[in-house]
Structure 1
């Protein structure tokens, strides 16, 4: 019996196997481990689909026998799935082959059963191998399994074209190694991603802890020094009063720093309510007027009516005041104008806060909201970081535009709430 295979169908078999591998990354997704039933379904579909398609479009078909690359998804499913997936794939293979029919269905039952036993026996140690050993093991195994199939065919067809079959299955073995390499690369990238996320979390924790220690140490050092002066020396009442007030101010500053950091742990609004942005802007204008008068700046507001957003009132006010105060302080050496505007754009509410201050560079804009970064000499960067966190918690988006010497514009967009 000749062994003349159809090259186009051989390439089609390769495509059937390669295409599902693109979706293998979803099977190794971290949260998928918590949903085992769904993971089993996905793994079974990824390997069963190409296995079935390979049998329906075989490169070689003669005298009731079909030869294809079905062994590759079977091996991959057994090695990278679990026992449930492996058993489902095996019985599905047998069932579909009998559905196709022909004398080869019975030979497939024998050869596939023997191959399955060999595959399962190796699958327990497979994941302890190195990448090279995995590729070699899977490639040799696919060749051996097909040799088992050839041996069963020789019982019926002694004139079987062995040399052509050897060439066919050697190419299959090479492709088997390539498939294993692709899956291992996907798994390795998933592991690297987990390690990267973990290292980022640890890095953030170290940065936050270092900055908290640094910020809290300053006011505590001041308080300790003044308390020593109050207890170890004789002071007149005026100095005692002054030192006492400084101690209270420093303690208040330490408490504010702690509150700012605690706000980062719960950026989402604790109490959501419908807020009229126009009323909030009017309130904020009243708060900022005294500060603006000290610096010689002016505050101008403009807003449309019935602009409602959903969020926490205190968090919204704190966020806008922090950004607006930075704008006023940026105009400290010149009489500037701080504008706060609110208007409707499509299905969004746009809150615009602009100043005519010193402006910022692109690098400074990109670092806004980063812990421990501030454009002010005595700034900690916490105020802007907390503001950004609150705004994002209200599903807001922030766009910053600035030019040195001309000023800065914060455009904040919120989802609009219909009345």
Structure 2
């Protein structure tokens, strides 16, 4: 078994087994003399000031004379930080995948009884005359069922995206189809929409409806981030088999502490909303082998950047 060491500040602890953090890299040599005098494998994890961990795998070979006296040590040090992070990421993805499959199955089973409840609520509402105040209650039931149905639909897209309906499409055409849909909302919020679309972008294989969902969500978010009006700018460029789409707004921006959580399921800063919109966008883009990121300056606006590969 590899020996593992830990220290925090000037305190040193040597243990067998679990992962133990260091506080600073500079403690490695003075604190771990045992690494130099005992042959074997050692695992060292250093927790830096910013709380990020660095993982080292150290193998020590001891050279002795015929009397067993230590002459020198050969130490092989390998940085395994990225490997450790990937292992943790894979482990987390496996857990989430299992949980997602179970949740998706449960959510799917909810759809049928929910449809029945809505149908009977609709029949009940129709049985009341227009003046009956009970129509207000049945209307609330129906609206809440519709809201829950939409949440279920979004959740199923997040956990089990449909990859069957792929075809060669133009990303500029998809964007062009969405702009008219948000034009009225933009005018009502005093937001002007500007586009700069590269004509040289080739068609790519995509689920067109899912991609429309991405841009509709991002455009709506951008408009809602500009309650006092502003500009929504959409730019597409193409270089080295990479399509780059930038969605820029001049709105309120995003707080730094919210940036990392922005694409997490159910995270939202809105009073109303499921918190699934951006996580669904991320999932759809990743299913197209792409990436999505955000850069924001509070009080000045945000830029969402999407990269989509053109697969040869």
Task: Tell me which interval the TM-score lies in, with the shorter structure as reference length.
Answer: 0.5 to 0.7
What corresponds to 2:212 in structure 1?
Answer: 317
Whether 2:284 is the aligned partner of 1:390: answer: yes
Shift of 1:273: 1.4
Cα deviation 1:191-243 (Å, max 9, x = unaligned): xx68993698279949x96xx99xx9xxx9xx99xx6xx79xx8754645544
**Partner of residue 267 from structure 2, selected from 358, 373, 376:** 373
State the distance in 1 between where 2:235 and 2:262 align.
Answer: 21
What do the CA deviations read for 1:234-279 (whole angstroms, capped 9, x no partner)? 8754645544443332212111111111112234633221111111
- Kept in 2, the 8 Å contact 1:343–1:349? The answer is yes
Q: Which of 283, 295, 305 is equivalent to 1:401?
A: 295
CA contact (8 A) 2:151 2:274 kept: no
Equivalence for 1:330:
225
Conserved? CA contact 1:370–1:385, under 8 Å: yes
Unaligned 5+ segments in structure 1 are: 1-163
**Matched pairs, number:** 228
Shift of 1:330: 0.9
Is 2:190 the partner of 1:296? yes
Distance of 1:371 and 1:271 partners within structure 2: 24
Structure having the larger proportion of residues in helix:
1
Distance 1:280 1:195, change over 3 A: closer
Structure 2 runs not aligned, ≥5 long:
1-64
Contact 1:281 1:301 in 2 (8 A): no
Change (3 A) 1:339 1:243: farther
> Do the aligned residues in 2 keep the contact of 1:269 with 1:394 (CA within 8 Å)?
no
Aligned to 1:413, the other structure's residue is in SS state strand
Name the larger-Rg structure.
1
SS of residue in 1 equivalent to 2:218? helix
Q: Partner residue of 2:308?
A: 414
C-alpha distance 195-397 of structure 1, shift in aligned 2 (>3 A): closer
Higher strand share: 2
> Conserved in 2, the CA contact under 8 Å of 1:292 and 1:298?
yes
| Secondary structure of 2:199's aligned partner | coil
Which of 345, 350, 357 is the aligned partner of 2:244? 350
Pair 306,195 (structure 1): closer, same or farther in 2 beyond 3 Å: closer
Q: What TM-score, normalized to structure 2?
A: 0.60
Note closer, same or farther for the CA distance 1:243–1:340 as it changes in structure 2 (3 Å cut). farther
* Structure 2 counterpart of 1:272: 166
Deviation per CA, 1:332-382: give whole Å up to 9, x if none.
Answer: 2x1111112212133211111111111012221111110221121112211
Q: CA RMSD in A?
A: 4.2
